[in-house]
Structures are given as structure tokens and as C-alpha cells.
Chains A and B, each alone.
Chain A
């Protein structure tokens, strides 16, 4: 499809969307950081306008015939060109709308959540920085621009996770997130270089249309897999999944925005962005599918034993991202994107609801929360339940439809194993979600001290309502988004009738059954009157420890880092530097000095001895010339 140039109106809207958050970042960070009210105002205004622009772009191009492309050369040297611009097509418009919407809602929410924090101005600056990079990532017209902003969202993630950097765990988590995603980005970067060198074109359109023709199958698969490394890092897939749960050290609105709805979904977005490219390489898609499946299972098991409400949602984010990748890997472009959309809504909602509880009770442990009277907060409780149900895939909420379409794609695969894995994951999702919900609904009367200090129990009413309003908006989306699936599919597929993903009637019932069994198990253990509120895993301590320790992945990394990087390479090289390189030079210098010391014995200090030797030497030389 040949792209068209946008008209001035569209260009203006798009540039406004891309530019305002950056402006807000600079203004807030460098000028108005001290005056909190003004900072919040600037940041919110620069987030509301892009929101309106994004929606108007989406609605204005609902039936767009060709993508719109606008770009300028950002940097060019020796055949490598980085462009800066935007490519508006259904996928980027959809994602743009998601990003700006959730970003705006989270900024509103943060007004209440961060009230009284001394760094609020800086916080809003970072949020604007994130919004700018994420928006530019989404609309990027070329892979290099996408990579640049991919790194920048990583940076904002680092800054926001470590926002309360006086806590050691927070700064540690930020560092871990940055380095682990960096490791994945290494592959992404190499993939870009491979494509640049062999294809010479990094534009997304070019990649999708020509890559399969111009690159050999080997190179194609190699570059697709290299790029997928970046996805693994950013979307916290196996084996780089452990940074995301740690990232929950950041403020909860940040977790909602970055670490569930938008930034971590960027990996999935990338795969769907260059989906035709991936489709050209079945091997790469198989890897995507397998990694997605493994991740989904692993992280679901971890979520089943977590006691920290944010950890549960973090694991579930990882598993849902894996699920999306499974959908994409199985060839279901729309299924993956649809699940991405609905997941953004309900997962942001889950986090924001949890944030209200955390803010109120000053703890992350949902057992404690429940005992402290979480049920008293009606609106957040309802929203939490709705979102949880959507996550589990309960009809008629958004999650049901999107999961259904992913399942449909999985069922279309020749190997039934993948469908089984998907269903198993769905069951586990339902189990751990309702485990949490039942605990929250039914406080267990235990002997432990019910009240946990340190919360903002008496916070101002305005703060509470500022936090609840975005919840309600998101809840509306969560409830109704599922019904828009058909329209969205038509939009994303450029209104081409064609490969409609197959629908299996029996599948609906199978998944309903699976979800019901998960919910039922949770009810038995946590929900029914007089339940012990202890999962079946507590009878299997070895397994529970395995899950709680994240399958020892973290320990493995720690070991690698401590013993291989620090203990071996770094130490060895340092010793080499001190002893061999530097020591060698020092030894050489000492040798020179020693030789000088030896020679100095010739210096008697007697002037006439020196003169005599001089004359003698001259005489000898003269004699030599006379004789020869």
C-alpha cells in the first residue's frame, strides 16, 4: 500500500500529540518543578490535548483507505538514516488512543495518589517524558525511530521505578529493569543492523512489504529472532521476566501506566507492527508462540502464591503478555492486538484500584488489606471485581471476548498442545484472580493485628474522588470494549473480508468451563464460608517455594552476575590492569631507573676524572681515524 501524505490538519494534530508532552517535560522539569500546582496543570494540559487529538485522529480515520506517512531525516550518515515522523494506520491509531487515554487517566489519578509527595513536580515531568516517548514509539515510521523511543521508554521506566530512590529496593529494581531490558535490546539493535545492512530500508512499510522478498529465509528468521529478543526484554517474557515484578517498587500509577497497560505492551505492539515480516518466517513465529506459552505458564504459577497485590497483577501482566504473544505467534494478528487493547483497559483498572487500597491502608499485602476493611471502599472494590472478572475472562466483560479470539486462533493450530496450554493458563488466571478477590471480599478473622499503620486513611475526600473517577472511566471501557471487537477487527484489517479467524462453537463452552473450574477452586479454598484461605499449594511446600522464588530465575541471574561478571571477568580484568598492564609499565620504569642507578657509579663527582675520560675518548676516536 503506498502511503499518502497527511493534510495540514492531520499533520498539526499529530505533531501536537507528539510534541506537547515533550514540551511539558522540559517546562516542568527545568522551570516549574518547585511549584507543584503549576507543574500538574502543565502536565495535565499537555496530556489532555494529545488525548483529544488522538481520539479525533482515530475517529477521523475510521475508514482510512491508505496509511498516512510523514517523516523528516533526523540523522543521516554513511548510508544509515534515522527518520523522525509518524505512520498513521489503524494499528498505530488504536495504540495511540490507548496510550494517550490511559496516560491521561493515570495523570488525573496521580493528582490524588501523589498528593503531598515532595517530588510531585518531578514525577509529573517523568510522566510527560514517558508519554512523549511512548507516543513517538507508537507512531514511529521506521524501526530506528521505534528503537530510539523504545530505549527512551526504558529510561522513563528506570526513572519512575526508582522514583523513591531513597529506598534501596526501588533503586535496585530500577537498575535491574534497565539492565535486563537492555540485554534484550541488544538483540533488537543487532536485528536492526542486520536488516539495515542487508535490506537497506528500515521503514516499517518497506519492511512489511519487501523483507520477505529481498532477505533470504535464513537472514529473515535471524533478524526476526534478534528483534524478538528486544520483545522478550521489554515485555518481560521468559527468560527475562523477573524485572517486571520488581518494577512494582515504583508508585502504583506508574505500574498501571508503564508496567501493565502501555510500555510492557510495546513488545507485543512491535511484533504486531511488523507482523507481515514475522509471518514471512514461520520459524520465528513458532519461537514467539513457544516463548509466550512458557512465560504464561511460569508467571501464572508465580501469581498463585504471591501475597502482594501488585505482585499478583505484575505476574498476571507477564502471563497475559505471553498470552498475546501466543496469539500473535499462532498467526492471529487481530486476536493479539484485541487482547492487548482490552488488557490495557482492565489491567490499568486493576492497578489503579489496588493503588487506592495501598494508598488507604499503607500495605501491599492483600490479606492485611482485607482485614483492615477493604470492603469499606465501595467504588474501588466494585471496579476491582469487574476488572478481575474481565481478567479471568468472565462473560460479558472485555476479557472474555479477547481471550476467546486468541483461543480461537490457538484452536486452529495443528498441534492441540498449544490450546491446552492456553486453557491451562486461563484456568490458572481465573484461580489466582479470584483467590485475591475472595480474600478481599471475605476478611479472615485471624489473630493477627488487623490494623496496619502508615496508610493515608484520613486523606482528603477530593483525593479519593480524583482517584476514583479514572477508575469509573476505565470500568466503563472494561465492560463495553468487548462488544466492539467486530468493528475493531474490520478497522484493523483495512475492511478486507478474508481470513476471518475461525470460530469454534465448542471452544466457547470449553473455556467457560475452564474459567469456572478455576473460579470454583478459588471459591472452595478462599471464598466459601469458613474457608481456611490457604491454597492447595500450601500442602506442597517444595512447589510453593519454587513458585515464590520465581523458579529460582532471580537466583540464577544473581549467581551469574556475582560470580561470572563481577567475580570472574571484572576481577580478573582489574587484576590484569593493576598487575600486568600497569605493573608491566611500572616495572619497565623501575628497570630504567635501576639501570640509571647502576650507571651512576661512573659518576665520581670528580670534575677532572670526567674531563680525563672525555679527553681519553676523544684521543681514542682520533687514533681510530688516524689508523683506519
Chain B
């Protein structure tokens, strides 16, 4: 595999290149800015699909590895690679990135800056998913976080400065735990390398794993919306503009869970064994709590924000089970939830753009006014409830089975959360979309065909992976089965 085309660097650098091009474009040529963003997103999507196609499931493990020394004296390498865990997430990023750019086509306020920042954020996201070097992973992690502040504070709505500030502070506090964790592992491993694979192979002392996992769990867990460090997420989602919400809830929150998985669990498997009861408890609390709080919300985006808390709880619970099935379910849930939330936010974004409200009591009967937007929202809601043949069902199934296996009481509580989430999703659907035609927003136009397409792409992904879960799960299993063996 030596002379192979460096796919991963290409994926990682395409949005960076796009950003540079955008920075050199004049302010007024907004069309060019959009097309450049869309082109780089499309290129990434194409490359990712190609990757997905040629990844060798039989061989499994890390593939397309690129390893170039960066600062050799400190043990920093430009080390990229994908396996069955990161590849679906890279695919998720590409899909959400592409549809997100398309969704923001009609943006007119400071277009150039918006897309430049968005591309920068995406570079960071790809970087985290692809890097196998702790140093780079951390750098990319922060690169993906910091554009959130201007993106929300400038283009957002509803208490945007507050939301942006809270979100940024929370996430930086999280990474303030991650950095000591990384340095701790770096020094304690005795290898003086940031190479994740090398450290994992060498293994760490149990007490190092214990403290290290704690730091990674809570550091990355903040971004994963781990209860009780979740309140930034609804507030931030509500304030953020549509595409940012999509990328944020769809992809960025997965970075947290991915960090716990890739850094925490790979490096400190014994730490997970020690901490797993607490982890599972917090995860289950998040599932039930998120659903119950969502029940009382009146703002559409808050509702989705809390449903994200609930669904990310499922991801955490899956990880805490320490079983192959649970972790597979968890990774698949990251993927499925990412697509689903992106669809949620993109349809709510449309409703908000046209009616200038996202308060549920002011709506009702929107299905007659905007049939397309309503269809996509309802589909996403059904996926969120866990209706079979939609992608998240399989993930929830696996998480619940293994959650029950590992922690019977918590498993039952989590399944109960499912009923509550059905209640609150259907309540929102009923109050917002059903009912007599709403005359107040009667003139609001529905999506145009061009704006329907990105949503349709997301919807089709949900359906495709729901009907054929093996497309993703077989791949994920190749990585999680060996991983689960580490927790003996």
C-alpha cells in the first residue's frame, strides 16, 4: 500500500484548500464562495465514498495509513488512518458537510466569512477523525471548536452571544481536561511519542489508565453532551444558524464520543473497566433526563437539543457496556444520530427562515403550509423515536440489548426513556405540523426543489442504512470486536 494515493490527506486538506481559496476571493463574489465551498464539500464526499468502497473489510484494522515525521524529537507524527470506527464517522462528516453547505445557499449576510469559518471547522473535524497522533488530534479538536464562537455570535439568533459564550467556555473547559490527559499519558507511557497506536500497543500502567480515562471521559464527555455537562448543547443549538446546528449536533458532538472511544478507551481500557459504572449511570441519566426535559420545551430547537442529549446518552451507554455489540451500536448511533439531527435542524431551519418563529405554540398546521419541510421533520422524528427500518433503530437495538446485558437496571430505565421520547416527539409533531391549516403562516413558501435535495439526501441516507444496516455495521464490527477484547 506504499504508492497509494494519499486519500486521507486529500480528504483533510480539501476543505483547507477551499478555505484558502475563499479567503482570496473578493467580498462581493458570493456566488463563487458558495460554489467553492460546495465543490470542496462534494470532493470530500466523493473521496469518502471511494474510501468506503475500497476499504478492505476482510483485512480490517487501520488502513490508508500515512505516517510522516513532523517533529521527531518530540515524537509528533503526521499520522493518519481509518478503521471501522472512524470511517463511518468520516462519511457522516462528508454527508453533513455537503448538505450543510447546500442548505446555507441562501445566506446573504457576510457570506465569505461564514463559509471560510465553516470550512475551517470541517478541517478540524476531519482532522480529529483521521489523526492517530495525540498532538494533532488535540490541535484539530480545538480547531474544530473555536470557529463555533464567531459562527454563532455573528450569524445566530435567540440570545446568540450568551449561547456562543456558554458553548465555547464549556468546550474549552473540556479540552482543558483533555490536554493534561494527553500530556499525562505522553509522559507516563515512557515512550515520549504522541503516536496513539504505539502508546496503545505498549500499554499503560493501571493507575495511569485510571486517572487518564477519568480526564478523557470528562474532557471529551463535555462535547458528547454527557449529563450533567450538557446544558451548553440546547442553548448553543438554539442560538446557532442552521448549518452550524447541523454540523454541530450532527458531527461535533460525535467528536466528543469519538474522543472517549479513540483516546480514552484505546489507551486506557482498564480505566474504562473501573469507571464504566459511573459512565453508564451518567449516560442513562442523560437518556431519561433529556427526554423528560424535552417534554416541557416550547421552542422547536430546544426540543431537538434535548433529544440530542437523550440520544447522545445512548451513545455513551453503548460505550460503557464494553461489549462489541454495544460499541458497534454506539458508533452506529453516532452515525445515525448525526444524519437524523442534521435533517431535524435543516428542516427546522427552513421553517424558521420562512416564518421567523420556532415557538411551538405559534405554529400548528404547518403540514398544510409546508408539506416538504414537515415530511422531513416527521421522518427525522420517527427516526428519533426508533422506528424500525430507519437507521437509528438498529443502533438503539444494539445499545439496549447490550446495555441490559451489562447493567440490567439501567438498561430498563433507558428503554423507558424510549417511551418518553416517543411521547415528546409525537407531541411536537402534533402541535407543530398537524391541525388545521395555519393562516398566520399561510403565505410562507415551502422548500424549492433545489432546497429539497440536500434534505432528501439525508432522508435517503436514513432510509438506506435503516433498510440495510449491514452497509455500516459489518464495517463497524471489524473494529469493535477486537476493541471489546481489550476490556477483559
Contact = CB atoms under 8 A, between A and B. Distances in A.
In the complex, A touching B (Cβ < 8 A): yes
Interface of A: 73-80, 82, 147-149, 151-152, 155, 158, 162, 165-166, 168, 171-172, 174-175, 178-179, 182-183, 186, 189-190, 193, 196-197, 565-566, 569-571, 573-574, 577, 581-582, 585, 589
Interface in B345-395: 365, 367-368, 382, 387-389, 393-394
A158 B387 CA distance: 12
B405 A197 contact: yes
B388 A151 contact: yes
Contacts of B405: 193, 197
A175 to B, nearest CB: 5
B319 to A, nearest CB: 13
A82 B418 CA distance: 20
Contact of A179 (B170, B423, B433): B423
Q: Please provide the 10 A-B residue pairs with the shortest distance between their CB atoms, ordered closest to farther.
A: A78-B325, A78-B324, A165-B434, A171-B434, A148-B388, A582-B231, A570-B295, A77-B328, A75-B469, A574-B296
Contacts of A190: 404, 412, 415
15 contacts: A74-B469, A78-B480, A80-B325, A80-B401, A80-B402, A82-B394, A166-B368, A171-B434, A178-B426, A182-B418, A182-B419, A186-B415, A186-B419, A565-B420, A577-B289
B477 interface: yes
A174 B437 CA distance: 19
A77 B382 contact: no
Contacts of A585: 166, 170, 231
A186 B411 CA distance: 11
Given A155-B387, A175-B430, A571 B473 contact: no
A178 B385 CA distance: 11
B477 A182 contact: no
Contact of A574 (B166, B293, B400, B481): B293
A166 B437 contact: yes
Nearest to B476: A77
Contacts of B323: 78
Contacts of A149: 388
Contacts of B418: 182, 186
Interface string B95-127: 000000000000000000000000000000000
Contact of B401 (A179, A193, A571): A193
Contacts of A179: 419, 422-423, 426
Of A74, A75, A174, the most chain B CB neighbours within 10 A belong to A75
A166 B292 contact: no
A166 B228 contact: no
Of A73, A80, A582, A585, the most chain B CB neighbours within 10 A belong to A80
A158 B393 CA distance: 17
Interface in B438-488: 469-470, 473-474, 476-477, 480-481, 484
Nearest to B420: A565
Q: For chain B, give the interface size range.
A: 35 or more
B470 A74 contact: yes
Given A75-B469, A78-B323, 7 more contacts: A75-B394, A76-B473, A78-B329, A78-B481, A80-B398, A565-B423, A573-B293
B428 to A, nearest CB: 10
Given A166-B437, A197-B404, A570 B388 contact: no
B329 to A, nearest CB: 7
B470 A76 contact: yes
A148 B401 contact: no
A79 B405 CA distance: 12
Contacts of B436: 166
A183 B401 CA distance: 17
Nearest to B386: A151
Nearest to B416: A186
Contact of A75 (B170, B324, B430, B470): B470
B383 to A, nearest CB: 11
B427 A175 contact: yes
Contacts of B427: 175
A587 to B, nearest CB: 12
Contacts of A183: 419
B169 interface: yes
B241 interface: no
Contacts of A151: 387-388, 393
A186 B415 CA distance: 7
Nearest to B484: A78
B62 interface: no
Interface of B: 166, 169-170, 228, 230-231, 235, 289, 292-293, 295-297, 323-329, 365, 367-368, 382, 387-389, 393-394, 397-398, 400-402, 404-405, 411-412, 415-416, 418-420, 422-423, 426-427, 430, 433-437, 469-470, 473-474, 476-477, 480-481, 484
B484 to A, nearest CB: 7
Nearest to A145: B388
A73 to B, nearest CB: 7
B83 to A, nearest CB: 16
Of B329, B398, B422, B484, the most chain A CB neighbours within 10 A belong to B422
Given A178-B422, A179-B422, A566-B295, A77 B398 contact: yes
Contacts of A196: 401
B290 to A, nearest CB: 9
A166 B324 contact: no
Given A570-B293, A589-B169, A77 B325 contact: yes
Contacts of B230: 581
B292 A78 contact: no
A179 B481 CA distance: 35
Contact of A78 (B297, B402, B469): B402
Contacts of A574: 292-293, 296-297
B416 to A, nearest CB: 7
Of B231, B289, B292, B470, the most chain A CB neighbours within 10 A belong to B292
Contacts of B426: 158, 174-175, 178-179
Contacts of A589: 169
Contacts of A174: 426, 430
A538 B148 CA distance: 68
Nearest to A81: B325
A151 B386 CA distance: 9
B292 A570 contact: yes
B484 A189 contact: no
Contacts of A582: 231, 235
A281 B474 CA distance: 37
B457 to A, nearest CB: 14
A80 B397 contact: yes
A85 B134 CA distance: 46
A166 B430 CA distance: 10
Contacts of B400: 189, 193
A581 B228 contact: yes
A77 B324 contact: yes
B7 to A, nearest CB: 26
A78 B326 contact: yes
B430 A570 contact: no
A577 B293 contact: yes
A165 B367 contact: yes
A78 B328 contact: yes
Contacts of A182: 418-419, 422
A185 to B, nearest CB: 9
B453 to A, nearest CB: 13
A577 to B, nearest CB: 5
Contacts of B416: 186
Given A78-B325, A166-B368, A183-B419, A565 B295 contact: yes
A403 B416 CA distance: 38
B296 A570 contact: yes
B388 A162 contact: no
A196 B325 CA distance: 13
A186 B400 CA distance: 11
B296 A566 contact: yes
Contacts of B228: 581
Contacts of A78: 323-329, 398, 402, 477, 480-481, 484
Contacts of A166: 365, 368, 434-437
